[in-house]
Amino acid sequence: MAAVLILVLREATTPVVTNTTTSANPSPVSGRDPAPVVIPALWIMWVIATLFLSLRVYCRGYRTSSFWWDDHVLVMGYMFLTVANGLITALQLKGFGLSLEFRPHMHTLSTTADVVNKMALVLTKTSFAITLLRLATGWHKWLIWVLVVTMWLIISINAVTTWFAACDRVGIDHYEAVLPDVCWSTMNSVLVAMVANCYSAIIDFVLALLPWKIVMSLQMKTHEKLGVGFAMSLGMLAGIVGVIKVYNITTIASSPNIPYNLSLLFIWGQAEPCATIVATSIPMLRVLFRD
């Protein structure tokens, strides 16, 4: 997403050739290096997600011997999260966020990190959906399936169209990795990304509220229903993070330090799957307190 936004913002600074002169708006340059902020934030969130996932794996695999598909999918999402962290770290160490100019390999790293982040996002949400499918009946199951399938479709389209914007402008740009013969308007890629991000946040809120409807129909004591419902609704945290991310994307152009704030978007992008891992792991930890 950050790479596409850079392309949009750079279009505003492309030289305009007239009969006598060539003019251009100056490309924004950051006075601050975002790496000392972005890199620690990413890995602190990763440590927290690792802790909760490890406890979940311990509870499901060792304490109850019931490692299910939702656990496997969540671990896969965690792996993609880790890879995305590594790519973003390498990107920041190359100086991403100091200006709107791409240094060698920056565009490839940024776009690849964005795609890997999307895989982490969709897998972690799918894991929670699989958990709900084991409890749901009737129309609840159909709703969950519709949400999962449409989420995969929209985010997959977004992942592909991210590369569509990577089109060389003759004499201006040179990108290492492009899709041949497909050159979209950068604004179209931004619109697709915004739709995907908004839908991702909506999915979080729906999946967070759905457990209440499911749990209340189960044969459990009232206080147990409330506890399980609350724990499974913590996925709303990921939805809140998603809303903040969308807001920051829409206001980036008016921010006082555009390159620096573009780098901060990576924090919010990685925070969403981290929050999902934590939120989906907490309900599984009740065995620790029960024993």
28-37, 45-54, 163-172, range with greatest mean pLDDT: 45-54
* Residue 154's pLDDT band (cuts 50, 70, 90): very high
Q: Between residues 181 and 60, which one has the greater pLDDT?
A: 60
Half-sphere exposure of residue 196: CA atoms within 13 angstroms, side-chain side: 26
252-265 pLDDT tens trace: 777 777 888 888 99
Domains and CATH numbers, the chain: 31-290 (1.20.1070.10)
**What's the CA gap between 154 and 201, in Å, rounded?**
13
Buried (b) or exposed (e) across 149-178, using 16+ Cβ within 10 A?
Answer: eebeebbeebbebbbbbbbeeeeebebeeb
Question: What does the longest C-alpha to C-alpha distance in the chain come to?
Answer: 81
% the chain with pLDDT above 70: 73
pLDDT at 150: 96
Q: What is the mean pLDDT of residues 116-143?
A: 90
Q: What is the mean pLDDT of residues 103-113?
A: 83
Q: What is the mean pLDDT of the chain?
A: 80
Question: What does pTM read for this prediction?
Answer: 0.84
**What's the CA gap between 69 and 89, in Å, rounded?**
30
